[in-house]
């Protein structure tokens, strides 16, 4: 697992199959962008970040751009369900995604934890929801999947 800072104040987490960018927008709002295949290690780091935010704030609003995620890691579901039950609905989750398979997995996790997840397939609606928080981030950050080499 590699961790590095990005120019805009967030930080990147990388392992062989997944890359994630975390940006803490306020004490209660976190923007997560992921690409590649899911990773238990990356998920655990994200959950640790949210846990530290929950120590300061009663609620955290998590905005996830998961359009670049092709599937979830096999161990992620069990960890996320246990963690979701432990946090007791204090994390409001908004997810932008393209994959119906990932959407089905997240829906099952939502039902098992009792924590609703608001899912979006339209970037404009997701951005408007984030804009409603007072953050006008347009366009959303782009992450190339770990196996793609960009020419520029």
* φ, ψ for residue 111, nearest 5 deg: -65, -40
What is residue 121's three-state secondary structure?
Answer: coil
- What is the four-CA torsion angle of 65, 71, 45, 131, rounded to 10 degrees? 10
- Number of residues in the chain: 152
In a domain? residue 85: yes
Range of the domain at 99: 2-132
- The structural domain count of the chain equals 1
Residue-level pLDDT at 92: 92
Which pLDDT score is estimated for 12?
Answer: 87
Contact 32, 64 (CB under 8 A): yes
Let me know if residue 89 belongs to a domain.
yes
Consecutive H or E run containing 118:
strand 117-120
pLDDT (tens, 9 = 90+) of the chain, 152 residues, equals: 676 666 666 788 888 888 899 988 888 999 999 998 888 888 888 899 899 999 998 899 999 999 988 888 888 888 888 888 888 889 999 999 998 888 888 888 889 888 889 999 999 899 888 888 777 666 777 777 776 555 54
Nearest CA to 47 among 77, 2, 68?
77
Q: Radius of gyration (Cα) for the chain, nearest Å?
A: 14
Tell me, yes or no, whether 79 lies in a domain. yes
CATH, residue 89 = 3.30.750.24
Residue 87, in any domain of the structure: yes
Give the Cα-Cα-Cα angle 24, 25, 28 (nearest 5 degrees): 85
Longest dimension (CA), the chain: 44
**37 inside domain:** yes
User: How many Cβ atoms are within 10 Å of 128's Cβ, its own excluded?
Assistant: 12
Distance (Å, whole) CA 41 – CA 62: 18
Other beta carbons within 10 Å of 146: 17
């Amino acid at each position: 697992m590699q961790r590095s800072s990005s120019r805009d104040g967030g930080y990147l987490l990388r392992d062989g199959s997944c890359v994630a960018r975390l940006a803490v927008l306020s004490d209660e709002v976190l923007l997560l962008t992921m690409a590649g295949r899911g990773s238990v290690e990356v998920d655990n780091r994200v959950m640790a970040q949210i846990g530290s935010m929950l120590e300061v704030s009663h609620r955290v609003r998590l905005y996830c751009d998961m359009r670049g995620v092709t599937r979830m890691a096999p161990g992620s579901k069990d960890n996320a369900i246990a963690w979701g039950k432990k946090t007791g609905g204090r994390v409001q989750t908004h997810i932008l995604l393209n994959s119906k398979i990932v959407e089905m997995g997240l829906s099952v996790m939502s039902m098992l934890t009792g924590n609703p997840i608001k899912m979006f397939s339209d970037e404009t609606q997701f951005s408007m929801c984030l804009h409603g928080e007072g953050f006008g981030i347009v366009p959303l950050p782009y992450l190339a999947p770990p196996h793609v080499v960009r020419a520029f």
